[in-house]
Structure formats: structure tokens, C-alpha cells
Structure 1
Amino acid sequence: MACHRHRSNHAAYEWRLGLAVALLAALAGWTGAGALHAQDDVDAGEVEIMEAEAREAAEAPAVETRAAAAAPGSAAGGEARAAAAAPAAAAQDVEAAAVQEPEPLPPISVGGGLQSSFLHHRSNDADASDHLRVNSLRLYLNGAATNNIKFMVNTDIDYGGSLGAPNVGQNTRFKILDAVAQFEMSDTFNVWVGRFLPPSDRANLYGPFYAHHWGVYADGVQDGYPFIFQGRANGAAYWGQFDKVKLSAGAFDGHSTTGVSSLIGAGRVQVNFWDQEPGYYLNSTYYGEKNILAIGLAGQTQAESGNAYSADFLMERKVPGGGAVTLEAEWARYDGLGGYDPRYVMNDGGYLLGAYLFPKRVGPGQFEILGKYARARFREGVTADYNQKTTEVDLNYIIRQFNARVMIFFKDTSYTAVQTDDFQVGVGLQIQM
């Protein structure tokens, strides 16, 4: 009985032990499964966190760039905007370059000028005569190949004289006055090539349309330099403006001008002490628009002919109310080159001109009174030496300066020998556009 009880107790103990082991195994299995599930949950969370961090890291530069671009006054913002705008700007530059047009040239200008007069002429050896004349009819054309390379063409009729009675057989055919290629690079460097007025006296460089008085080039002094037509010659010249000093120098064809094959050298220096006078060509007056005090020296030479040189002076002061007072003078000497009378080697002389432009306007214009006195000598000729004296008085009505003016003129010329005295009175009209 004791053994049986002992075996029964032992069996009960083993059963209880097995049950405990089974329970422990079950508990361990349950705990392990929970731990695995927990580990899976942890791994999934870490993955989600890592993915979120990666997205934030990827988005951070763009956010910083946008923030920097949005920050006003920020250097980083400026760089960001510049970096963002660079491709677009480059594309715009390429597009602009593709469609960019050349800089427009100055427009071509066309103009004209007319001088016409009624002249009563009386000389000692002929009866008085009256004439209605077309003194000058000019056509102007100016254009440009570039902003620095220009072209000028001017023409005039071959009227056969200046102020006096018409020459026998006078015609009205047109001739080339100016035909110039103008390379105008700066105020100090300009080159003209073609036919134009060479460096010479002021009177030649302003011509009849910009002269102060009507009876130009009839006093034995003004513009006695050699020329082909109305003071012009074929050649090339440099000119430049250096503040108040203007310089010009050139070489011109001798054969077409004097019949001698050697070149003619020409030069001029001018100093403006008050207002400047821009450009190559000049004026005799500015009708009160400028204060002028200018002195010019000019000369020309040809090896087989001789020399010519001159000095000119112009002073003009504005008068309150729109008027002006003017003094103009010149002395010239033509020694074997140029001159008024080809029969004489030596021709020299000078003139003095004064004018007053009244400030008060009468109708559309202003009145002006002008007087001129000139003396010239002719020496070393085939006939006797002689002197010329010229006196001129003008009463002018200035409507629009050189574009519209009417001039009543009286001119008396006397000679000591060879030539005959003459007297002229008339009315001249000048229109330009």
C-alpha cells in the first residue's frame, strides 16, 4: 500500500511538473510572439521616421532657396534670384540678339536755295542798264552711310558772275558745287574727300548764302584764292575742333584749279575767344544768337605758282532785346597764286565791315543797317598798276536769318587806272529751305 501510494504521488508530481513545463512553454511562446510583433512594429516605425527625414532633407534646399529668394535685401536672396533668373535672362538675351536691328541712320535731307535780284547798273563807259537776275539756284543733298561717314552734294547754276551785270551768253546749266565724303569721327578728327571749299579765308568759307552783305567777292580782297567753281577745289583735308581752336589742312589738285600739275597745299587756324563755331563751314553773322570774337589765319601754296595768305577777324555782340552789333575785317595778299585779276602777279588789300541789327521786330522781321569799305592794289602786271576802292551800304530786312531775307544794296567802285568806275543799286532776295 505504501508503494502504491508512493507511485501515485510520484505520478501526480510528474503530471504537475509536465503541466508546469507546458504552461511555461506556452507562456514563452506567447511572449516571443509578442516580442516579434513588437519588433516588427518598431522596425516599421523606424522606416517611417527615416522616410520622413529623407523627405525633409530633400525639401530643405528648395525651402531655403525660396526663403532666401523671398528675403528682401538679402545677399543670399539676390544670389538665389540671380541664379533662378539667369537662364531666363540668357534666353531673353539670345532672343534679343536674334531680333536686334542696326542703329538708325540720320535721315537724308534735301534742300534748296535761291538768290534773285533787281539791279540798276551804271558805268563810265556805258549807258545805265537794268537787270532782273537769278544770281544763284542751289540744290542741297545730305545723307549718311553710318553715323560717322556722311555724304554731301550741292549744286548751283553757272551764272557767270556774282553781283554785276550778266555776262554775255550767261546760261543756267547746273554744275557741281560740293561733292564730299565726310569721315567725321569726333570733334578733333574729321577728314573730307572730294570737291569742297579748301582751307582759306572766312569769306570763302561762308559763301554768298551766309554772307552778311549782298555784294560779296567784288572788292578785290575777299576769296581771291584759286578755285574751280565758286571757291571749290578737288582734294582732301583734315579738320578738327580743339575747344576754342579750330585747325584745318589739306592738299588739292593743281591742274584742275590753276592749270599747273603740282598740288596746292592749304591750311587754316582759327581761335574763337567767346562762343565756338562748330563745323567746317562758317558764317559772316549769327544775327544775335552768339557772341563771337574770332581771328583766323589762312594760307595756300603751289610750288610752280606762288603763295596766297590772309588774316580775318569777326566780332559780334548780342544787344538786349534780340539785336546785334557786328564788326568784320580781312587783309589778304595773293602773290602769284589766285587774285582777282590774272594779268597781275601781286594783288593785296583789306576791308572793314560794320552792321547793326535793330532789336525791335517790325512785322515778321528785323531791320539791319550795314556798311563796308575796301581797298585793293594790283601790281606787277602786263599793264599799269592800279588801285580799287569799294564802298557798299545795305539796308536789310531779316525775316528768318539766312532762310528768308531782303537786302537793298548800294555799291560804288572806283579805280585809279585800267578798269572803269561803276555804280550799282538794287534789291536782293534770298530764300532757303
Structure 2
Amino acid sequence: MMNIKKCALHTAVAMAFGLGAQLANAGATISFGEDKYISAGFGFITSYNSVEDAANNGRDRSNDFALDSARLYLSGSFNKYIKGMLNTEKSGGGSAGSNFEVIDANVQFQVTPEVSIWAGRFLSPSDRANMAGPYYSMGGGYWANIASRYGWNGGVIGRDDGVAVVTSFMEDHVAVSFGAFEGDNIFRFSGPAGARLGGQENAAVKDKLMYAGRVQVDFWDAEPGYYGTGNYFGAKDILAIGIAGRMKKDGAISTLAGVVGDYTSYSVDFLLEKKDVGPGTFSAEAAYYYYDTDDVFLAEQGKAYSAGLGYLFNDPIGWGKVMPIVRYQKFDADGLTTGGSVNTRTGADTKRFEIGANYVIAPYNSVITATVGKTDTPTTSTDNFFKLALQMQF
């Protein structure tokens, strides 16, 4: 029997853990009986970007359309104890000519109502920005790869092959997850000069696993499930703090002979969302990150910060509701990584500030975002930009 139910990446998680509708997008579900189904859906983010002095002549503004993301979602269930998901993404870091690749391919075993085991390829325990991803954040700042660096950089867009235990306590107000993963592509897209990506068992280093964990406490409404969101668009009152960390011995491997170091990172994130603050919902987010590569890649070592504010008006205008947003991100790197030598200690900052608004037609599923801002990097002057993005999920 064909019926319309909740589907896709967060829907698969919602079905696995019995979550509410706020994390799901519409999709087609074929039911084969009680707790047996296959669901399918798709989503994409496309944008128009204009950057000052970024045209080929170096003087005029650039004008570019881009397909930032395109995903296919599949999820299924054998019974109430065994669920699975298979999701794809346009790979290549948003570049032209990129291909689709598998980002999620896993099974979830529900051992008890509070304990499940995930195995396969999925998001390893990490910061809220990574767990939410671009489709479930306040305004898509995750894609900038400034503060939440492992989210875009590591594995396959934040995913890794491995296994994790996912638990919750106190009626889902405390969540704890821990797992072991391959962790072979920690610097996949940033690609610091001299980094060796993948194939670590072929290098002259020990083939160690990466360990990752997260603890989250919700003081107001609970947030059930493993994959998360960065904004509830007024569906919940949230006051949450999360702590995450990951470690891999010999995780930073240079192409230079004998230059190997351990990779360690940890983060602290905060989310507040309160309904009925005046004529709408107020939200605030903040996070702190620390990255350590044993001084092998100073360009990927240092401290990072992010903060954002949003306000969703209750009364719709036309098809949707208006949500002004502002976000700031900074990565204070220890230095630059060059091809001639492993490191140059320079103290290199990357900063991004943006302000704009979401037009929320359907939370997560139909959102238009317009922002203006500027990005400062160690190697280029300030880039003033305008971005108009459309997000759709079906």
C-alpha cells in the first residue's frame, strides 16, 4: 500500500527511534506489513552567488549558479528492531563534474528502547553542526567549512565507516554515543599541502582506528534520536549543551618521510530556542572547537568559534514565514601548510560574517535563504558576497 509518510535521512532516524514529524520531509513509503516498509525521497540545495572582484578580470563581481547539494534518500525496516538507510550526495565538494557517492549505508539494531547499535557508514558522534548538516541548520553555515571542519572535511562529508553505540537516558534528555571508525580521510576537502589522504595501511604507520563520542544534555524539551537538527522552527523549546571529541593515533600523515602525528579534536556546542518570545521564536547557537594535529599540519590545527542568532515570526507572509538570521564563524589556525616545508607558523585566521533571512515555506523541506556577508582568509583579501539559496526536499 502506497501512502505519504515521513522519509529521508532524518526520517529514517525518526522511524528507527519513533521521533516526531518535525525532523521529517515528505516521501513515498511502501508498506509490506507491520513495521515493514521501504521509503524514498530526494533533496537538493541550489544557489546564486555573487562575490566582489571575483570575476575573471579581477575587478567585477562574479555571477554564478551552483548545485551545492543533491541527495537521494532510502530507508527501510525489517521489524521494530532492525532499520536501515541508504543515502547519496553529489560529491566533489560542490565542484563541476562531481559524481554521486554513498554517504549513508547502515543498519540500526534497537537493542532496548534506550540503546541501539549503528553499523556501516554514517555520521560519527560529533558537534551539532555536523550532526544536523546543511539541510537542518539555521542557515546552511555548515557548508562554509570554517568552524565545524570535520563536518565537511572528514570522511565522506562527515561520515565514516564503523560502529557506534547510541544511548539515551532520563526520557531522552541525556544522550550519549560512542564509536570506532576508519577515519582515513580527516582532511579530505581542505587538503593541506603535504597531507596523505586515505590508504593509511599502505603508509609506514600503524593502522589505528578513530574513536569518537558525544554527550548531550537537554534541559527543556527532549531531542530524541541520533542525527540532530540545528533549529526546530518553533516546534520545541530547547536549551541544550553538547560535548564531542574524536581521536586517531597517527591520524595526521604527511607525504614527507617520517612526518606523522596524532589527530585530536573536541568541541562544545550550545543551542537555545524559545517559542512565544514576542511575535515569534528566538533562537541562539554557539560552539567552540579545538583541533590538534601534533604540529604536522598547522593549517588544520587551532581553535574555532561559531555563533548565530535567529528569529522566526509567527505570522506568515504569503506562502511562508520570515526568519532573520546572523552568523559569525572563525578558525584561528596555528599557521600555514606549504608544499616546500610541512609548516609555516604565521597565525592564520579565517573569518566569515553573514546576515540575512530565511523564508520558511515548510521547515527543512522548502526554504529560501538570502544572505550578504564577507569572508577573510589568510591568503586572500576580504570577499564581500551575496548568496541566494533554495532548499527543497521531497
Q: TM class, shorter-chain normalised?
A: 0.7 to 0.9
Q: Does 1:373 align with 2:305?
A: no
Q: Cα offset for 1:299?
A: 0.3
Distance 1:254 1:285, change over 3 A: closer
Alpha-carbon distance in structure 1 between the residues aligned to 2:294 and 2:123: 16
Map of 1:136 onto structure 2: 69
Equivalent residue for 2:176?
Answer: 247
Matches for 1:320-335 after TM superposition, within 5 Å: 323-335=280-292
Q: Secondary structure at the match of 2:334?
A: strand
Structure 1 outlier segments of 4+, above 6 Å: none
Cα separation, 1, equivalents of 2:277 and 2:304? 35
How far, CA to CA, are the matches of 2:53 and 2:175 in structure 1?
Answer: 42
Counterpart residue identity of residue 347, structure 1: G
| Structure with the greater alpha carbon radius of gyration | 1
Within the candidate set 29, 38, 42, 1:112 is matched to 42
**Please, which of 291, 296, 317 is the counterpart of residue 242 of structure 2?**
296
Q: C-alpha displacement at 1:337, in angstroms?
A: 8.1
Task: Quote how far apart the aligned CAs of 1:104 are.
Answer: 2.2
Which residue matches 1:318?
A: 275
Q: What is the CA-CA distance between 1:135 and the residue it aligns to?
A: 1.0
- For 2:144 and 2:67, the matched residues in 1 are separated by 17
Change (3 A) 1:320 1:326: closer
Which residue does 1:151 correspond to in 2? 84
Q: Check whether the contact 2:36–2:78 (CA below 8 A) recurs between aligned residues.
A: no
CA offsets, 1:199-237, max 9 Å, x none? 010000000010111332326212436622211111100
Q: Distance in 2 between matches of 1:262 and 1:126?
A: 46
Q: Percent identity?
A: 34
Mapped pair 1:191 → 2:152 = no
Amino acid at match of 2:142: V
Letter in 1 for 2:289: A
The letter of the residue matching 2:290 is R
Corresponding residue to 1:126 among 54, 58, 63: 58
Written as runs of structure 1 = structure 2, the 5 A alignment for 1:24-423 is 104-123=34-53, 126-127=58-59, 128-161=61-94, 167=95, 170-218=96-144, 220-224=146-150, 227-243=154-170, 244-255=173-184, 257=186, 259=198, 260=200, 261-304=207-250, 305-319=262-276, 323-336=280-293, 344-381=299-336, 382-383=343-344, 384-415=346-377, 417-423=378-384
Letter in 1 for 2:80: N
Question: How well do the aligned residues superpose, as a CA RMSD in angstroms?
Answer: 2.3
Counterparts in 2 of 1:116 and 1:345: CA distance versus 1, 3 Å? closer
Structure 1 length as normaliser, TM-score? 0.70
The 1-side partners of 2:231 and 2:330 are apart by 22
Q: Tell whether the 8 Å contact from 1:249 to 1:268 is kept in structure 2 after alignment.
A: yes
Deviation at 1:112, TM superposition (A): 0.6
Query: 1:105: how far off?
Result: 2.5
Query: Per the alignment, do residues 322 and 111 of structure 1 end up closer, same or farther by CA in structure 2, a change over 3 Å counting?
Result: farther
- Distance in 2 separating the partners of 1:322 and 1:187: 38
Counterpart AA for 1:310: S
* Distance in 2, Cα, partners of 1:426 & 1:126: 19
8 Å contact kept, 2:53–2:62:
no
Are the structure 2 counterparts of residues 310 and 132 from structure 1 closer, same or farther at C-alpha, using a change threshold of 3 Å? same
TM-score (structure 2 length as normaliser)? 0.77
Post-superposition Cα deviations, 1:298-321, rounded to whole Å, max 9, x if no partner, equal: 000111222100000000000268
* Structure with greater contact order relative to length (CA < 8 Å, sep ≥ 6): 2
In 1, Cα distance between equivalents of 2:281 and 2:387 = 25
> Aligned to 2:93, what secondary structure does the other structure show?
coil
Q: Alpha carbons of 1:187 and 1:393: their partners in 2 closer, same or farther (altered >3 Å)?
A: farther
Deviates more, 1:116-125 or 1:392-401: 116-125
Give how far 1:146 is off.
Answer: 2.2
Structure 2 contact 154–183 (Cα < 8 Å) conserved: no
* Matched residue count: 322
2 CA distance for matches of 1:351 and 1:321? 26
**Local SS of the residue matching 1:155:** strand
Q: What letter corresponds to residue 412 of structure 1 in structure 2? A: K
Report matched runs for 1:6-25 at 5 Å.
Answer: none
Q: CA deviation at 1:126?
A: 3.2
Is the Cα–Cα contact under 8 Å of residues 219 and 376 in structure 1 kept in the other structure?
Answer: no
Where structure 2 has 5 or more consecutive residues not aligned to the other structure, the ranges are 1-31, 187-196, 201-206, 251-261, 337-342
Letter in 2 for 1:120: S
CA distance in 2, matches of 1:298, 1:143: 29
CA contact (8 A) 2:118 2:163 kept: yes
Residue pair 1:214, 1:409 contacting (<8 A) in 2 also:
no
